[in-house]
Amino acid sequence: MRILLLTAGSRGDVEPFVALARRARRDGHEVRLAVTRDAVALASGAGVDIVALDGDIQAVVAAQGVSVLAGVRSFRTVMLPMMSAIMRSAAEAALAHRPDVVVHHPKILSAPLAAARLGVPDVLVEIVPTMTPTREFAAAGVTSADLGPLNRLTYGLGAAANRTFRGPLREVRAQLGLPPKGALPGPARSAVPVSPALLTRPADWPATTQITGQWYEPAREDGDPDPELDDFLAGGDVVCAGFGSMAVAGAVDRGRAVVEACRAAGLRALAVTGWGGLEVPGALVGPDVLVRRAVSHAAVLPRCVAAVHHGGSGTVHAVVRAGLPSVVVPFIADQPFWAGLLHRTGLAAPPVPARRLTTDRLAGALAALPRAGAVRPVADRMSTEDGCAAALRLLDEVCSP
């Protein structure tokens, strides 16, 4: 197969596509992976053709954080032009590669148009369950409350938000030579790269929506050796704390809460600053606190005793796979969904919303951590899954005559 993978977003939006690209290439497929400029370095290790889409999501987050209000204020000056550029360049990437199938993140709104122009199937990738309606839970990112029979209605909000990009989509239609109006066929499949050990497939999902398991590769030795980190982890009783791409005001306060809560619990803290959501004041750094901008989850988490994290899908999978109990500190979007799911299934302490994070609340959550033994059975189930293989079987079905 000639496969085109299109994605944009944070590390959690890119790494699954990198894993699938690497696996597809290893299995003999011809793969091209298109990501925004800020993710090219992250994707470059895939060993496949990389195309840089116009747009720099990390730069936008660095400039305005992840505040919804900031996003609304800058919509016309920042978000609309960037999304337009991503859509145009994604369509160009599709025409240049001429794939047998287009596999895309929901943010790549032009992917179905490009697939229609080429006459090939498109496969929508729901990194989190936000697109296929179900009565069993509300769309992740809309509400974490169970609305019963109204849950299905929440899935229309994503489509409503996408209508704000009608103008750029009309331009892409013209670019591709498609009629300016008219419905397109839906995706041939919707792939949900989530572990079935975490999320039970809703009974009312159509057969075209399939849970594949997470698109993940076993640990590889990436980057330079870090003897200081290795020695720190060898000391034991380490809590890995980090909030990924959550660049939100209050990073120092969050860093102080993490360090002080860990000390109160008699634990040591590995603080991972990420895109800027966590910062540890120099005065708090000591033998029991180590700071890093980024670490390999696969290499580090199995050597820790617990995790404090924002609840992004990729981090959730990595933490549970490592057999760690956790405290989820959700900020926005799908994070409250994962926080509630982990707590309900006995894999995490009660969540502490980011806006309410204090030393006392986090210390209380650390005291309420489930036993590591409660996480191990789920971790063992996840270890038997091969999400990338399942995804490639799905693509083969889609492309078969």
Task: List average pLDDT for each run of 10 residues in the chain, which is 401 residues long.
Answer: 94 92 95 93 82 85 62 74 93 95 96 96 95 94 90 86 86 92 88 97 97 85 79 97 89 97 97 92 94 93 97 95 97 93 97 96 97 94 96 96 64
Per the CB < 8 A criterion, the answer to whether 166 and 234 are in contact is no
* 97-106: pLDDT as tens digits: 999 999 999 9
Retrieve residue 382's tokens: 């996840």
Q: Is the dihedral of CA 390, 396, 399, 401 positive or negative?
A: negative
Residue with tokens 């209050």: 250
Domains and CATH numbers, the chain: 2-214+385-399 (3.40.50.2000), 227-383 (3.40.50.2000)
Provide the CA 178 distance to its chain's centre, in angstroms.
32
pTM for this entry: 0.90
For strands 2-6 and 30-36, give the pairing: parallel
Nearest to 112 by CA among 89, 80, 87: 87
Nearest-angstrom CA–CA distance, 212 and 194: 7
Across the beta sheet with 2-6, the strand order is 49-53, 30-36, 2-6, 101-104, 122-125, 189-192, 209-211
* 72-130: pLDDT as tens digits: 677 677 888 899 999 999 999 999 999 999 999 999 999 999 999 999 999 999 999 99
Retrieve residue 229's tokens: 């980190």
Q: Is the dihedral of CA 173, 178, 179, 181 positive or negative?
A: negative
Q: Is the dihedral of CA 97, 100, 103, 108 positive or negative?
A: positive
Q: Is the dihedral of CA 359, 364, 365, 369 positive or negative?
A: positive
Across the beta sheet with 326-328, the strand order is 289-292, 268-272, 238-242, 306-309, 326-328
Alpha helices by DSSP H, listed for 10-79, are 11-26, 40-43, 57-64, 68-73
